[in-house]
Each structure stands twice: as C-alpha cells, then as structure tokens.
Amino acid sequence: MPKTIIEKLWDAHVVSEKEGAPALIYIDLHLVHEVTSPQAFAGLRARGLKVRRPDLTFATTDHSTPTTPKNLPIIDPIAAAQVKQMETNAAEFGIPLYGFHSDKQGIVHVIGPENGLTQPGMTVVCGDSHTATHGAFGALAFGIGTSEVEMVLATQCLPQRKSKTFEVRVDGTLRPGVAAKDIILALCAKVGIGGGTGSVFEYRGSAISALSMEERMTVCNMSIEAGARAGLVAPDDATFEYLAGRKYSPEGADWDAAVARWKTLPTDDGATYDQSVTIDASTLEPMITFGTNPGMGMAISGAVPDPANVADPIERESLRKALQYMALTPGKPLAGQAIDVVFVGSCTNSRISDLRAAASVLKGRKVNSKVRMMVVPGSQPIKRQAEAEGLDRIFRDAGAEWREAGCSMCIAMNGDQLTPGQYSVSTSNRNFEGRQGKGGRTFLASPQTAAASAIMGQVTDVRTLLG
Amino acid sequence: MIKFTPFESHVVPMSIDNIDTDQIIPARFLKTISKDGLGDQLFCDWRYDAAGTPKPDFILNQDWAKQCQVLVAGDNFGCGSSREHAPWALTQYGFRAVVSTSFADIFKSNALKNSLVPVVVDSATHQKLMALPRDAKVALDLAAQTLRLPDGTVVTFPVDAFSKYLLLEGVDELGYILQQDEAIKAYEAGRASTLNTLAA
Ligand code: SF4
C-alpha cells in the first residue's frame, strides 16, 4: 500500500506494539535545554538511572540565558542556577553541551540543523513545542513534556499513539514582499490554533519545494501554532545540499548510503491523508496577527475583526477579550498602528537568511526614533556569519541593537521583555497575553514586515518600501 | 504515583477558548529547577494585580473556588508550549480534572502523567457545566469514565485505555518502559549505525 512519509517514519521506529498499550517508538535524537530538563535529571538521580544513549542526546542553554555581552555574568540568580544545573547535569550524565560560553551556543532548534544533528528519517524530540522545526528535514520531530524527557533520557523510547496525517498543500509562487512566515501565519489563520490537533502536517506543493531549508524551518516551526504536534517536508536535493559537510553529517560511503536511504522517504504516489488543506501562495499577502493567539491573523491590508459579527458566544467573548487586551478597535486596519518595539529573532526567524531579509529592508534607512529594535541571532555561528557579511553594521547604523544568541524576547524569561502596554512587531511565534513580557502586546510578522515597521514606527506593509 | 479514585467537587468555570500554557503558568516561573511551589503562580497574570495582590473578582481568588477540584474551560485548553509546569501548577492548586470540548495534544499527554484528568464533553454538556450554580457538585469516576451532573445526567468521556490503567493502578510509566529492555535492545541492534551521529 502506498504510504505517506509520516507513516514511513512511524513504521521505521516502532520498537514494540502490545494490545491495549501505545506503541513504543525509538528516538534518534534528543535535544535538551535548561528549562524543561532539570526535573527530569532529578528523576533519573532519584531512581539511580543513567542516560541510555548520551551519544544520541545533545544539550544547549538558550531560554533563560541573557543576550547581553558574554563577558557579563548572568544577573538573575535563579536563571544562573538553572544554567549551572544544565552544565552539572550534562557533565554528570555525559551529554555533549553547547553551554553559555560555547562559541556554538544557540537556540536549540537552530543548532540542531546547523550542526547536521538533525537528519532526514529521524525521530527528534525535545522538551519544547517548537521541535517541529526539525521536520523541515523530513524528520518526525515533536515537543514533549518533562516526564517524557525523563523517559527518553532513561530508555531512548516513548510510548506514543499514531497521529493522523494532514496534508498542507501550498502551490504557486510567492509575490515580492511575501515570506515563508506569511505561509505559516496564513495556515494558522485558516485552520485556527486547534486545527491540526491530533495530526502531523506534511507540507508539500510547488511553493514548499521552492523554499530554502531555512524557510522550510520557519514553516515547520509554527506547526504547533496550528495545533499539530509535528509538521514536516519530505527531503529533496535542497535538503541534501544543506546537510553536506555539516559537523555531524555522515561522510564518504556513509553519506552515500544515507542519501540513498533518505531518497526512499518521500510520500508514495497514491498515498492518502486523513485530512487536507490547500493554500494558494500566489494570492498571499504579508500577514500580521491582531489577537492573542497565532490563529488570530490576517493579511496586512485587512481590518481588525468585530466580535459583534461572531455567532458563537464563547468565540465572541474570546475575541472581545483578545481585542481588549490588545487595545484595538474592531473594524480598523492594523497598518498604521503605532509600535514601541521590534524584535527580530527566535527559532522561527533568527537564521542568516532572516537577518539578511531584515537588513535588506533596513539598509540605508533608520529605525524610527520612537522604536526600540532588537536583532537577536539564533546562534553564535550565525552571529559571526552576519558580522562577516556586515549585517551587524547595517543594523547598528540604523539604530537597532545587535545582541548575543538566545531565545531573548520570544519568551521573556531572560531579561529581554516588553513593558506593560507596549506594542511590538515580532518575528517570533507566539502572541499570547504576556508572552513577551507581562502586559506586552505582540503582532507576529515576517522579518521583512518587522524591519519595515521599525523604520516607519508603525505596523507597515513592507511592499510600500520596496523599490 | 497515587491511585486515582472517584470524587465529587464543585466546579470553577472559565469561559475562554484557547487558554494557553503561558496563561496557566507564565514563562518567568520556569526558571525553577524543581516541580514544587507552582500552585500560587497558577494563572498568575490574570490572578494578581501589578503589586502582586490577588484580584478579588478573579474566580480562583474566591474562597469557594479554592476547594474546587474541577476546572471547566473553553475549547482547545492548554495550547502553546510543552511546559509540564502547567499541569504541575494546576494540580498544586488542587485541580484533579479539567473539562473542555477539546485539549491541545501535548497538554493532554502531560496532564495524564500528573494525575490530572482531561475530560472532553460535547458542547451541550459544556454549556450546562458553565451555567452551574456555585453550590452544585459533579462526580467524576475515571474507572467508569463518567461525569455525573447535578441534575443526575451521566455523561461518559473518552480516555486512552493505557493512561487510564496507569492512573487507576498508580503505575509508573517509566517503570513500564524499562521492562521492555529486550525489545529496545533488539531494535537498537537493527538500527543503522550512521544514525549514531554523536558517537565520539
Ligand atoms: S525561541 Fe522562543 S519558541 Fe523558540 S525555543 Fe526559544 S523560547 Fe521556544
């Protein structure tokens, strides 16, 4: 029977199946960070267990680490203790760590692909819901809770129920000013924040094939924002080209064998999905969110929806509450809304191509005097690459802050945050109440839209600035 | 793990859809290296004002709510981040079940690992629960997979059979996986060695 890549990945990882119990599946790569792992390591210690496969486990520190210069200490004592604990745990259990002072340190979902750790055909887990990022390589990658982190550390396995398959077909050519981020924001708006619950997305179609690996990561990254625990793209030549020569990529004969295996992964002709949705890339506009979840998004030329037009009472109340929090007027366009902060960064949009995209808009222009703009590269190697290309100069000359790698203002637990009432255009993935700082208000958008908005001091359609 | 037993409780209604884990427990409380002490921070930014004083009109600050073991919330409860701190905070406040029309996948999985039962009901039952008077009680029986409403109606709810077994018997899931060491070894023996990317 023809199979989807999702089913092929599942079948290849089943360790055991017993009547009445979920299947036990094997995990090829376990990424670990300081925030969701300490209680799991404590659990191992309490039971006297070891990490079964330290050679399939990799750690970094990113969430609670400050993005101020590295010669400064971590001021927050609780965050410092957590970072220290990660170092202790990695040393004690023999896990490789790109720690706070490593020249390879970065956001967990950025460093996996960057070092060739993430490869097609793998199962990848991390105690973080944006693990779907690694799906860009044709891996089955999903976020897990801390109890599951402990299970994977101890056994390299997880009891799992099979997910449903969900085809996201995106055909057509993106127009100028429209980015990969706009594809995924459009999907979130279309199916809603719970639309993919219980499913794994496969992104396919001509618009997906045309994306670079970094753009595919942006799309897969936000699968969870449409409710799906995982989202992936079948590997192709772009995937192999990206992986060739990376630190942990196979070499020589191993590389040839791996590529041969990877080529068997794509969905067979005639395979069917439990559900499908299509998006026409050629009609997409730059997207922006107006509400307090990533599904509350619209084309940047649109107007804020009116709760009065929503029939369902709980839905109406949820929208009313969201607009009240955002202090937005129903029926008004969002373009022109004054902003205070622009954040370019996060595991969604902090890779070199994202920084280049933002810099291309900013070049020769200035950040509006009322706006604080922060640019936070996803890893130390990306930071160095950007500096080699002179991107940091473009950002600094425009008046933006050029910071050290980390999650930064995506999660506001490391000193980088909005103050109550501030508006931000952010390239990150979540606009939940308080996500970027208590009382802060987030508009999610692409790096291009973020840069354009920084220049104008208000939510701006980047196409108005394109020459 | 303690065995999950039937109980009766008043309910706390929160008629908001898509309550995300950043609301349940804001990220700044995730710097902890322990599982404890999160109950006071449950729904922190909805529950306390800027000075940290409990807002009297927020439902969880009302005395009667503090005794409740059942939270009834809008659709797609627990969306967002994978933080297990969310069920830790909910159970430390005293909840043993959350009722909704649907749950986000990772939250559901995390809840079941922490003796917090996610109860999915249809929207008619959900509306009834939202409108219950404060003194009304519901009864939850996990073994029977039933929720009894004050008017005597009994609704059944789905639970993954394996999770139910673990909860009712107080069996630890990691212990269960560790017993399958033979199968894991057999799988590892047949696994492509090129996948051992980090081998020194
Ligand atoms: S950048 Fe944001 S979403 Fe990504 S791993 Fe860090 S905190 Fe999570």
- Give the helix/strand (H/E) hosting A315: helix A313-326
A227·B105 Cβ contact <8 A? yes
The span from the CA of A433 to the CA of A442, in Å, is 8
Q: Which atom of ligand 1 is nearest to the CA of A428?
A: 2
The span from the CA of B107 to the CA of B88, in Å, is 11
Say if A451 is an interface residue toward chain B (CB within 8 Å): no
**What are A94's two structure tokens?**
């023999």
Digit-coded pLDDT (tens) for A13-71? 999 998 888 999 999 999 999 999 999 999 999 999 999 999 999 999 999 888 998 88
The span from the CA of A104 to the CA of A93, in Å, is 20
Does B200 have pLDDT greater than 50? no
Q: In this structure, is residue B143 part of a structural domain?
A: yes
Residues of chain A predicted below pLDDT 50: none
Q: Compute, in degrees rounded to 10, the torsion defined by CA atoms A309, A312, A318, A321.
A: 50
Chain B residues near residue A154 by CB distance under 8 angstroms: 174, 177-178
Which ipTM score applies to this complex? Answer: 0.92
Best probe residue, ligand 1, of A346, A435, A442 (max atoms within 8 Å of C-beta):
A346
* Residue B110 phi, psi dihedral angles, 5° rounding: -65, -40
Q: What SS3 class is residue A416?
A: coil
Does B195 have pLDDT greater than 80? no
Best probe residue, ligand 1, of A35, A108, A347, A379 (max atoms within 8 Å of C-beta):
A347
Domain range enclosing B25: 7-192
Q: In this structure, is residue B197 part of a structural domain?
A: no
A41 to chain B: nearest residue by CA?
A: B33
Q: What integer pLDDT is reported at residue A348 of this predicted model?
A: 98
Say if A46 is an interface residue toward chain B (CB within 8 Å): no
Q: How far is the CA of B107 from the centre of ligand 1 (A)?
A: 17
Say if A62 is an interface residue toward chain B (CB within 8 Å): no
* Residue contacts between A and B (CB atoms, under 8 Å): 204
A448 in Cβ contact with A357 (< 8 Å): yes
**What are A332's two structure tokens?**
């008004």
A326 in Cβ contact with A441 (< 8 Å): yes
Residues 6+ apart with CB under 8 A from A439: A418, A419, A420, A421, A422, B45
Digit-coded pLDDT (tens) for B2-21? 899 999 999 999 999 999 99
A151 to chain B: nearest residue by CA?
A: B174
The minimum CA-CA distance between B122 and chain A, rounded to whole Å, is 14
Q: What integer pLDDT is reported at residue A262 of this predicted model?
A: 96
Q: What integer pLDDT is reported at residue A84 of this predicted model?
A: 92
A116 to chain B: nearest residue by CA?
A: B197
Say if B110 is an interface residue toward chain A (CB within 8 Å): yes
The span from the CA of B172 to the CA of B114, in Å, is 10
Does B197 have pLDDT greater than 80? no
* Residue B13 phi, psi dihedral angles, 5° rounding: -90, 135
Q: What SS3 class is residue B69?
A: coil
In our burial notation (b when 16+ CB lie closer than 10 A, e otherwise), range A211-238 reads bebbbbbbbbbbbbbbbbbbbbbbbbeb
Q: Which of A418, A438, A417, A406 is nearest to A83 (CA)?
A: A406
Q: What SS3 class is residue A157?
A: strand
Does B198 have pLDDT greater than 70? no
Say if B113 is an interface residue toward chain A (CB within 8 Å): yes
Q: In this structure, is residue B12 part of a structural domain?
A: yes
Q: Which of A201, A252, A241 is nearest to A222 (CA)?
A: A201
Q: In this structure, is residue B164 part of a structural domain?
A: yes
Chain A residues near residue B84 by CB distance under 8 angstroms: 36, 39, 145-147
Q: In this structure, is residue B50 part of a structural domain?
A: yes
What CATH number is given to the structural domain containing B118?
A: 3.20.19.10
Say if A161 is an interface residue toward chain B (CB within 8 Å): yes
Q: What SS3 class is residue A279?
A: strand
The span from the CA of A405 to the CA of A376, in Å, is 6
B141 in Cβ contact with B160 (< 8 Å): no
Q: In this structure, is residue B16 part of a structural domain?
A: yes
Q: Between vectors from CA A243 to CA A238 and to CA A244, what angle results, nearest 5°?
A: 100
A216 in Cβ contact with A203 (< 8 Å): yes
Query: Residue written as tokens 């750790």?
Result: A117
Question: From the centroid of its chain, how far is CA A379?
Answer: 14
Query: Residue written as tokens 């995106």?
Result: A170
Does B194 have pLDDT greater than 70? no
A118 to chain B: nearest residue by CA?
A: B197
Q: What SS3 class is residue A219?
A: helix
The span from the CA of A441 to the CA of A451, in Å, is 18
Q: In this structure, is residue B198 part of a structural domain?
A: no
| B positions 37-76 inside 8 Å of A (CB) | 45, 50, 74-76
| A positions 350-409 inside 8 Å of B (CB) | none
Q: Between vectors from CA A382 to CA A377 and to CA A386, what angle results, nearest 5°?
A: 90
The span from the CA of A346 to the CA of A409, in Å, is 8
Q: What integer pLDDT is reported at residue A70 of this predicted model?
A: 82
A293·B184 Cβ contact <8 A? no
E-strand ranges in B55-100 read 70-73, 97-100
How big is chain B by its Cα radius of gyration, in Å?
19
B33 to chain A: nearest residue by CA?
A: A38
Chain B residues near residue A79 by CB distance under 8 angstroms: 31
**What are B132's two structure tokens?**
């219950």
Q: Which atom of ligand 1 is nearest to the CA of B27?
A: 7
Does B38 have pLDDT greater than 50? yes
Digit-coded pLDDT (tens) for B47-74? 999 899 999 999 999 999 989 999 999 9
Residue to mutate among B28, B92, B196, with most A CBs inside 10 A, is: B28
A59 in Cβ contact with A152 (< 8 Å): no
- What amino acid occupies position A187? L
Q: In this structure, is residue B2 part of a structural domain?
A: no
**What are A204's two structure tokens?**
């396919």
Residue B80 is nearest to which of A15, A54, A129, comparing CB atoms? Answer: A129
* Residue A287 phi, psi dihedral angles, 5° rounding: -105, 155
A318·B18 Cβ contact <8 A? yes
Percentage of chain A beyond pLDDT 70 is 100
Q: How many structural domains compose chain B?
A: 1
The span from the CA of B111 to the CA of B87, in Å, is 5
**Alpha carbon nearest to ligand 1 atom 4, residue:** A347
